[in-house]
Amino acid sequence: MSTIPINTERLPEHIAIIMDGNGRWAKQKGKFRVFGHENGVKAVREVSEGCAELGIKYLTLYAFSTENWNRPKIEINALMSLLVNTIKKETKTLMKNGIKLEAIGDRTMLPIDCRKELEEAIEITKNNTKMTLVLALSYSAKWDIVNATKDIVKRALEGDINLDDVNETLINNTLTTHKYPHPELMVRTSGEHRISNFLLWEIAYSELYFTNVLWPDFRKEHLHEAILDYQNRERRFGKTSEQLA
């Protein structure tokens, strides 16, 4: 574990995490996959608290992808009820830590009780200002991009916008993530090196960090390691090193 302190002057404003490896974690222990999901909740708590403590303003957690609807029904049901219960239980902690809960993704796909709990927690925490925790639920970047495209075409057909109005800013502002700065740092746990349809547009220039740690084992020190690694990167945005100096 590193002992170099984090430079609080150079923190990412937004961290996005693909929380992966719950199933393998459980399997290693000879348990059912759901046991891994249950134990992933502790990591969510640790990371949310850890980010808030450091002064990270936005944390986006990939909790359930559009593609995850293809999992066995029994696992989907278990995940959804875990979600309802966790949101219910954790609202107090969110209030205590000044965290605002928001969500991105297709809410119409969620079971009604799940959606209700989520919307209630969003409403209760809406005035918190320390950090925004964005849950990506029934989310995929392609889903978001398709909807944004439809919206733009509709506005064009209605005569609200012209062809020349279509630019990066318009597309950006039409995505459901428009309220958040693009994540400077994207983390994926469990040793998989892929994006799995997470924030495709938004991570165009993100620093990517991969760790072999399985999500249920992820703790504040792992978060700190990821941030330290990020702080040692040179973000050039197409320029040369010399230009940055």
Q: Which residue out of 20, 22, 39, 144 is catalytically annotated?
A: 20
Closer to ligand IPE by Cβ: residue 65 or 91: 65
Q: Total number of residues binding ligand IPE (CB under 6 A)?
A: 19
From Mg ion, ligand IPE, none, which one binds at residue 118 (CB under 5 to 8 Å depending on kind)?
none
Counting contacts by CB under 6 A, is residue 196 touching ligand IPE? Answer: yes
Q: Which residue out of 22, 68, 165, 217 is catalytically annotated?
A: 68
**Joined tokens for residue 193:** 């090196």
**Annotation marks residue 77 as catalytic:** no
Counting contacts by CB under 6 A, is residue 96 touching ligand IPE? Answer: no
β-pairing, 131-139 with 207-210?
unpaired
Counting contacts by CB under 5 A, is residue 184 touching Mg ion? Answer: no
**CB 96 to ligand IPE: min, Å:** 26
Counting contacts by CB under 6 A, is residue 64 touching ligand IPE? Answer: yes
Task: List the interface residues with Mg ion, window 5-64 (CB under 5 A).
Answer: 20
Closer to ligand IPE by Cβ: residue 192 or 217: 192
- Cα separation, 23 vs 58, in Å, equals 27
Q: Which three-class secondary structure string do you get for the chain?
A: CCCCCCCHHHCCCEEEEECCCHHHHHHHCCCCHHHHHHHHHHHHHHHHHHHHHHCCCEEEEEEEEHHHHHCCHHHHHHHHHHHHHHHHHHHHHHHHCCEEEEEECCHHHCCHHHHHHHHHHHHHCCCCCCEEEEEEEEECHHHHHHHHHHHHHHHHHCCCCCHHHCCHHHHHHHCCCCCCCCCCEEEECCCCCCCCCCCCCCCCCCEEEECCCCHHHCCHHHHHHHHHHHHCCCCCCCCCHHHHC
Contact string (CB under 6 A) for ligand IPE, positions 23-42, x = contact: xx------------------
Closer to Mg ion by Cβ: residue 20 or 225: 20
Counting contacts by CB under 6 A, is residue 10 touching ligand IPE? Answer: no
Closer to ligand IPE by Cβ: residue 68 or 81: 68
How many Cβ atoms from other residues are within 10 Å of residue 86's Cβ?
Answer: 19
Q: What are phi and psi of 195, to 5 degrees?
A: -100, -25
**Annotation marks residue 68 as catalytic:** yes
Q: Which residue is nearest to Mg ion (CB)?
A: 20
In this chain, which of 194, 235, 236, 239 binds ligand IPE, going by CB under 6 A? Answer: 194
Counting contacts by CB under 6 A, is residue 216 touching ligand IPE? Answer: no
Sort residue 4 into left (φ over 0), alpha (ψ -120 to 50) or beta. beta
Q: Catalytic residue numbers?
A: 20, 68
Q: What does the binding site for ligand IPE look like in residue numbers (CB under 6 A)?
A: 18-24, 62-65, 67-68, 79, 190, 192, 194, 196, 215
Q: What does the binding site for Mg ion look like in residue numbers (CB under 5 A)?
A: 20
